[in-house]
Amino acid sequence: MTKFRRVLFASATALSVSLPVAQASEVRVGFTQDADTLDPANHRNRETETIIRNMYDGLLTRDPSMNIVPELAESFTQISPTVYEFKLRDGVKFHDGSPLTTEDIKFTFDRLIQEGGMGDGQTSPRKSLLGPLQSVDVVDDRTVRFNLEAPWPLLPAMLPFQEMVSKSFVERVGTEGMATQVNGTGPFKLVEWRTGDSIIMERFDDYYGGAADIEPVGKACVDRAIFKIIPESASRVAALLAGDVDLINELPPHSIAQVKNNPDTDVVTVNGTRSFFIAMNMENELFKDIRVRQAVAHAIDKNLIIDRILGGNAVSISGILSPDAFGKNKELQGIDYDPETSKMLLAEAGYPDGIDVTLDVTGAFKDTAEAIASLLTKAGIRTTVAVGEGGQLNSKWRTKGGPKSGDMYFTSWGNGSLDPYGIFNPTHRTDDRGNSAGYSNPDLDALLDAAVTETDRAKRAEIYREAEALAAADVPYVYLWVPQDIYGVSKRLKGWRPSADSRINLHDACVD
């Protein structure tokens, strides 16, 4: 037994977990990143949401096929282009035993959408995820009404990302307390958060059962669920092979064969929703010249990297959208791999001897970035890879409206809703929060703004197709690929299925 598990069992006993340690069942996840916070309203991070979503539920959720289904809501109806009504299901309790009410729903969304709604003048960083949502009204003890300032067809698609909180609990502990304390309606309740090491949860025995459309309905299968934070890929794989964890995310493609050949483990994949790309800093004099940006794009053999580095577990993209996204422009002509054209373009731009640049990347993708750097260097774009921590790189590249200080950034953006709004606007709209390239095109901004309120589905799709073609022609990014999400799993693990939105839902996970 590892030291970690001995400590864990001792901690669980001290915290009066209901079953004796010898009889308790637990599922352990080797996870890439710790939570930024445990407050559902105070983050914009997919890994944080993955952890939180096992302790909190939303009005709506998605099944493994990405269909939107009611969760805490029993049903919902669109009354008009700007009004939706949601009817709550009966019998839902928070972890402290108090019932979920329509007042809790209103309070949750007021906290999300109001300026200063989190207290002390703080506005939720998730406010923009709810677009033109203006207010939520209590109709009766089971019904709430959502009022939009303008038509916004995305609302149901965005609600699975918003978790409901207890009004009385938030008022008691405040925003500061919400960062480390949990009182949700989800299948697990918090036991302990060991920052940087693990998040330990236990089954909530009064759980209402979860979405009626996702079988099985009922309490969680295991007594405990643990997210063990293991950022380094080799260490996650080693923990899985040793039996110290039952599931790991972001299994490196080069480890697939190793995991498959181990008699006690296997590999599970699902089509992802995360687009990978290289941002070129258009605030930098070098990359203001489109010929330099085109040279970078021509220097990268995407198919070679997909085959050799990603093990074929990805699909090439020529624009920001996934091939499965609504409104995807499937007529886009990509930029072919042609290093001689790269050299010619550099010479035309005034760099006949090539250029020297730095490519920023997080540690999880260092190997891929080094392969890209090798290709770039062969084309006269001498590239040094600089590994940085995620938060530091986000501050450097993703400060909304702020200056960029690097050359290039190998990064990605997730789009769990598969609606263009969730990825196109933040990465391409002028001064938006994910616009790492510092790109600005007023014509594109106008198209993206028009698509937000267009209720005709066919017209909206055509707007996005036009927008993707316009952006691709400007080459603010080198659009690379959408990889499959690859998980390593223990053969002890039963009932768990991966989701394209990267959520690791442990409600149905069982272990032999």
- Whether residues 149 and 219 share a domain: the answer is yes
Count of domains observed in the chain: 2
In a domain, 2, yes or no: no
Question: Pick from 36, 1, 504, 512: which is nearest to 225 by CA?
Answer: 504
Q: How confident is the model at residue 173 (pLDDT cuts 50, 70, 90)?
A: very high
Bridge partner list, 188: 203
DSSP classification of residue 50? H
Query: Which residues have C-beta within 8 Å of that of residue 510, sequence separation ≥ 6?
Result: 25, 27, 221, 222, 493, 494, 495, 496
Q: What are the structure tokens assigned to 280, written together?
A: 């070129």
Confidence at residue 1, expressed as pLDDT on a 0 to 100 scale: 37
- Whether residues 236 and 283 share a domain: the answer is no
Alpha helices (H) in 74-122, listed in sequence order: 102-113
Cα dihedral across residues 270, 274, 275, 280: positive or negative: negative
Least confident of 30-44, 106-120, 414-428: 414-428
- How many angstroms from the chain centroid is the CA of residue 282? 26
Mean pLDDT value across the chain:
92
Give me the domain span that covers residue 84: 25-246+492-511
Question: Pick from 162, 215, 212, 224: which is nearest to 187 by CA?
Answer: 224
pLDDT digits (tens, 9 = 90+) for 259-312: 999 999 999 998 888 999 999 999 999 999 999 999 999 999 999 999 998 889
Confidence at residue 110, expressed as pLDDT on a 0 to 100 scale: 98
Q: What are the structure tokens assigned to 361, written together?
A: 């990347």
pLDDT digits (tens, 9 = 90+) for 73-132: 999 999 999 999 999 999 999 999 999 999 999 999 999 999 999 988 999 999 989 989
Residues in the chain: 512
Question: Pick from 506, 512, 487: which is nearest to 32 by CA?
Answer: 487
Cα dihedral across residues 210, 211, 213, 214: positive or negative: negative
The DSSP annotation for 308-321 comes to HTSTT-EEE-SSSS
Rg (CA), the chain: 23
Alpha helices (H) in 289-431, listed in sequence order: 290-298, 302-308, 339-348, 366-378, 390-397, 421-428
Tell me: pLDDT of 172 over 90: yes
What CATH number should be reported for the domain holding residue 203? 3.40.190.10
Q: What are the structure tokens assigned to 329, written together?
A: 């422009």
**Mean pLDDT score, 395-412:** 89
Confidence at residue 457, expressed as pLDDT on a 0 to 100 scale: 86
- Whether residues 353 and 293 share a domain: the answer is yes
In a domain, 99, yes or no: yes
- Whether residues 145 and 57 share a domain: the answer is yes
Confidence at residue 17, expressed as pLDDT on a 0 to 100 scale: 36
- Whether residues 222 and 349 share a domain: the answer is no
Model pTM score = 0.75
In a domain, 219, yes or no: yes
- Whether residues 390 and 424 share a domain: the answer is yes
- Whether residues 406 and 497 share a domain: the answer is no
In a domain, 190, yes or no: yes
Tell me: pLDDT of 19 over 50: no
- Whether residues 116 and 64 share a domain: the answer is yes
Ranges 355-359, 360-364, 494-498, most confident:
355-359
- Whether residues 186 and 76 share a domain: the answer is yes
Angle at 418 between CA 417 and CA 421, to 5 degrees: 80
What CATH number should be reported for the domain holding residue 379? 3.10.105.10
In a domain, 7, yes or no: no
Confidence at residue 23, expressed as pLDDT on a 0 to 100 scale: 53
**Mean pLDDT score, 152-169:** 94
In a domain, 499, yes or no: yes
Q: How confident is the model at residue 416 (pLDDT cuts 50, 70, 90)?
A: confident
In a domain, 288, yes or no: yes
Tell me: pLDDT of 391 over 90: no
- Whether residues 331 and 350 share a domain: the answer is yes
Percent of the chain with pLDDT over 90: 80
Confidence at residue 275, expressed as pLDDT on a 0 to 100 scale: 96
Confidence at residue 272, expressed as pLDDT on a 0 to 100 scale: 86
Q: What are the structure tokens assigned to 80, written together?
A: 């008009």
- Whether residues 208 and 73 share a domain: the answer is yes
Q: How confident is the model at residue 12 (pLDDT cuts 50, 70, 90)?
A: very low
- Whether residues 450 and 301 share a domain: the answer is yes
